[in-house]
Amino acid sequence: MDELRKKYFEACADEWDKSFTAEDYEILSFLIDSFNISKKAKIADLGCGTGIMFDMLRRKVGSDGMIVGVDFSGRMVKKARQNFPFDNVYEVDGDVEDLPLQSGSFDMAISFAAFAHFTNQKKVMEEASRILKQGGKFHIIHLSGSKELVEFHQQVGGPVAQDHLPADADMMKLFEHGHFLDVKIQDHPGLYLASATKG
Ligand SMILES: C[S@@+](CC[C@H](N)C(=O)[O-])C[C@H]1O[C@@H](n2cnc3c(N)ncnc32)[C@H](O)[C@@H]1O
């Protein structure tokens, strides 16, 4: 586990919710609509922070579905619990590189604004694949293109200064390593979206 990065995000937790604009919510909501999430689905939110996606996802899966958010910042997890105290939304304090979740038990995994921060992205890909059912989807979202993200993280500095997304060919290899099929990557200013299906 990357203690420096973890400390950095712990320190961001109290003010984190203020960093989202109405436009961010609108784009995120549009993307989530496009994922065709079915009622009763079980979804894992990898690097969930304070749970910005929880309410949108909860409405999609309905009362028989389930959302499990995982984050290694205890403070982020605590805030997520306070923000979304719903029966079918669970917040887990854990490392996405070693998910404390059952194999083959999720219909979808989503990582929003987080994948670039994962130290061992190959391990996260393996873990996402492990927890998904066959045919399950994995979506990696950032609301900036990969180039903008590099510049942004350099400006932010500190432990996240070098955080970045893999180049397309490397992301393809990561998905292949996780036995994902039908990989699609969009990378342009304002959006990075990589999606694939577990084979
Ligand atoms: C930029 S924040 C995004 C949080 C949330 N998805 C959102 O958009 O509000 C990245 C999150 O990833 C979490 N994170 C980074 N590496 C992690 C790891 N190895 N395991 C679990 N969480 C991790 C951080 O604690 C942080 O909450």
Domain range annotation of the chain: 3-14+22-198
Q: Which pLDDT score, from 0 to 100, does residue 141 have? A: 98
Q: Which pLDDT score, from 0 to 100, does residue 14 have? A: 93
Q: Which pLDDT score, from 0 to 100, does residue 140 have? A: 98
User: Order of strands across the sheet with 42-46?
Assistant: 89-93, 66-71, 42-46, 106-112, 132-142, 191-198, 180-188
- Give, for ligand 1, the residue of 3, 9, 78, 131 to mutate: max count of ligand atoms closer than 8 Å to Cβ: 9
- Helical spans, DSSP H, in the chain: 3-12, 22-34, 54-61, 74-83, 121-131, 146-156, 168-177
List ligand 1's pocket residues with C-beta within 6 A: 5, 9, 47-50, 52, 70-73, 76, 95-97, 112-114, 117-118
Separation of 183 CA from ligand 1 center, angstroms? 23
β partners of residue 67 = 43, 89
Separation of 77 CA from ligand 1 center, angstroms? 10
Q: Which pLDDT score, from 0 to 100, does residue 2 have? A: 84
Please give the chain's pLDDT, 199 residues, in tens. 689 999 999 999 999 999 999 999 999 999 999 999 999 999 999 999 999 999 999 999 999 999 999 999 999 999 999 999 999 999 999 999 999 999 999 999 999 999 999 999 999 999 999 999 999 999 999 999 999 999 999 999 999 999 999 999 999 999 999 999 999 999 999 999 999 999 9
C-alpha to C-alpha distance for 23 and 160, rounded to whole angstroms: 24
Domain range 3-14+22-198, CATH architecture: 3-Layer(aba) Sandwich (3.40)
Q: Which pLDDT score, from 0 to 100, does residue 37 have? A: 98
Q: Which pLDDT score, from 0 to 100, does residue 1 have? A: 62
- Give, for ligand 1, the residue of 73, 112, 125, 141 to mutate: max count of ligand atoms closer than 8 Å to Cβ: 73
